[in-house]
């Protein structure tokens, strides 16, 4: 089968299409023929050699895909063969076939096509597990999303609004600010020209929950911005890994700081997150309240260009690779 591997750590030009044997589904796994695979920022880090796959995972890139179940391993009911699914992967999505634990696939929700479904799982699972399961966002609360126009951000806005929360975001341009407002964000703060802390001071928008992708660079301001009882969840470290935490401020606000990585979680935790998505989020997708914002698609052969789009941050929402029927 065709699959994308990293020739040597570096820029997009180091991505290479190669021929690999089709994976064999192990016990408890299904084999998916991939129709489309989302590109995530983590893939760029892996390509550069900063985010190695967990032990035992395939070196083929790709954390999510859509496709059809075409085979099963031992202990899996063969009646799932033929089902159209979206899958949360530990790797392997940039290929014609991928083997994945049954608990990490779900039927494609609503009327999503293969491309949209291919860019759904990683962001939906990340937002669900962090904003809802860990931080417990509830209706009427305020969520601050850093990078509102990212794949993660566009999903977070829609899911929070669907849950009845109010949303404020940070973004890099007026055009991206408009997209976020169109998705339901009450305010979009342009981080290149405005300090989000200044903007939120005095506004009726103190965040109860912050979904952060900047890490160290925003740690102090995030803690200052939080409402009493606020919850800061760090999922990205684009602004560095080591910062200073003012514990007194945290203590006086009875606030919390958490950091998580979805990829590193064991299969049973991923299965539990996917089950939560099917119950809580798939109805929102079916109602049209949540759907991946697809910026552009590229056939697998043009994977280098797809990575360049994310490198340039010229996208809003998701970039998706297409294979076979979705080409």
Ligand X SMILES: NC(=O)c1ccc[n+]([C@@H]2O[C@H](COP(=O)([O-])OP(=O)(O)OC[C@H]3O[C@@H](n4cnc5c(N)ncnc54)[C@H](OP(=O)(O)O)[C@@H]3O)[C@@H](O)[C@H]2O)c1
- Taking the least distance from each CB to ligand X, the nearer of 153 and 230 is 153
Residue from 93, 151, 207, 230 touching ligand X (CB under 6 A): that is 151
Q: Please, what is the minimum distance in Å from the beta carbon of residue 86 to ligand X? A: 15
Binding test (CB under 6 A) with ligand X, winner from 3, 4, 99, 152? 152
* 128 touches ligand X by CB under 6 A: no
What is the spatial distance between Cα 28 and Cα 187, in angstroms, rounded to a whole number?
Answer: 45
d(CA 113, CA 84): 10
User: Candidates 1-9, 146-154, 199-207, 274-282 — which segment interacts with ligand X by CB under 6 A?
Assistant: 146-154
Q: Which is nearer to ligand X, 172 or 243 (CB)?
A: 172
By CB under 6 A, is residue 91 in contact with ligand X? Answer: no
Number of residues that bind ligand X (CB under 6 A): 27
Cα separation, 134 vs 139, in Å, equals 15
In the complex, what is the shortest distance from the CB of residue 40 to ligand X, in angstroms, rounded to a whole number?
Answer: 4
- Please list every residue from 156 through 175 that binds ligand X, using CB under 6 A: 170-172
CA neighbours closer than 13 Å in the CB half-sphere of residue 202: 2
> Is residue 256 at the binding interface for ligand X, with CB under 6 A as the rule?
no
Pick between residue 71 and residue 316 the one whose CB is nearest to ligand X.
Answer: 316
Query: Two tokens at 162?
Result: 């669907």
Inter-helix orientation angle 151-162/174-183, to 10°: 30
Contact call for residues 296 and 309 (beta carbons, < 8 A): yes
147 belongs to the binding site for ligand X (CB under 6 A): yes
Contacts (CB under 6 A) with ligand X, residues 181-220: 191, 213-214
Contact segment (CB under 6 A) with ligand X among 21-29, 35-43, 98-106, 157-165 equals 35-43
Query: How does DSSP assign 142-153, residue by residue?
Result: EEEEESTTSHHH
| Angle of CA points 109, 112, 113, to nearest 5° | 135
Q: Buried b vs exposed e over 146-160: b needs ≥16 C-beta within 10 Å?
A: bbbbbbbbbbbbbbb
One of 36, 97, 104, 146 touching ligand X (CB under 6 A): 146
Pair 22, 97: CB distance under 8 Å:
yes
Considering only residues 46, 66, 126, 158, which one is a binding residue for ligand X as defined by CB under 6 A?
126
Examine residue 222 and tell whether it contacts ligand X (CB under 6 A): no
Q: How many whole angstroms separate alpha carbon 232 and alpha carbon 254?
A: 12
DSSP structure class, residue 289 = S
Closest CA to 99 of 152, 158, 21: 21
Q: Which of 185, 223, 227, 262 binds ligand X (CB under 6 A)?
A: 262
> Which residues within the stretch 267-326 sit at the binding site for ligand X (CB under 6 A)?
310, 313
Site residues (CB under 6 A) for ligand X?
40-42, 122, 126, 146-147, 149-153, 170-172, 176, 191, 213-214, 235-236, 238, 260-262, 310, 313
């Amino acid at each position: 089968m065709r699959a994308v591997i990293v020739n040597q750590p570096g820029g997009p030009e180091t991505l290479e299409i190669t021929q690999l044997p089709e994976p064999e589904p192990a016990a408890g796994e299904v084999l998916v023929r991939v129709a489309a695979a989302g590109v995530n920022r983590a893939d760029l880090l892996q390509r550069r050699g900063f985010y190695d796959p967990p032990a035992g995972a395939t070196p083929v890139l790709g954390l999510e895909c859509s496709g059809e179940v075409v085979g099963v391993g031992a202990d899996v009911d063969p009646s799932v063969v033929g089902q159209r699914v979206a899958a949360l992967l530990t790797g392997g999505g940039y290929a014609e076939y991928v083997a994945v634990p049954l608990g990490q696939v779900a039927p494609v929700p609503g009327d999503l096509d293969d491309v949209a479904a291919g860019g759904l799982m990683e962001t939906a699972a990340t937002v669900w597990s962090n904003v809802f399961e860990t931080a417990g966002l509830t209706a009427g609360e305020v969520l601050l999303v850093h990078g509102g126009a990212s794949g993660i951000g566009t999903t977070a806005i829609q899911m929070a609004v669907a849950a009845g929360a109010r949303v404020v975001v940070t973004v890099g341009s007026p055009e991206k600010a408009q997209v976020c407002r169109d998705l339901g964000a009450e305010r979009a703060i342009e981080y290149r020209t405005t300090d989000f802390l200044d903007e939120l001071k005095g506004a009726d928008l103190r965040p109860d929950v912050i979904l952060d992708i900047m890490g160290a660079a925003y740690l102090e301001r995030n803690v200052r911005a939080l409402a009493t009882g606020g919850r800061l969840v760090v999922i990205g470290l684009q602004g560095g890994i080591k910062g200073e935490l003012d514990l007194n401020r945290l203590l006086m606000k009875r606030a919390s700081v958490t950091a998580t990585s979805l990829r590193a979680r064991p299969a049973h935790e991923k299965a539990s997150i996917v089950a939560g998505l099917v119950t809580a989020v798939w109805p929102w997708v079916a109602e049209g309240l949540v759907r991946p914002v697809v910026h552009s698609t590229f056939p697998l052969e043009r994977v280098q260009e797809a990575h360049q789009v994310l490198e340039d941050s010229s996208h809003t929402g998701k970039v998706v690779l297409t294979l076979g029927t979705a080409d």
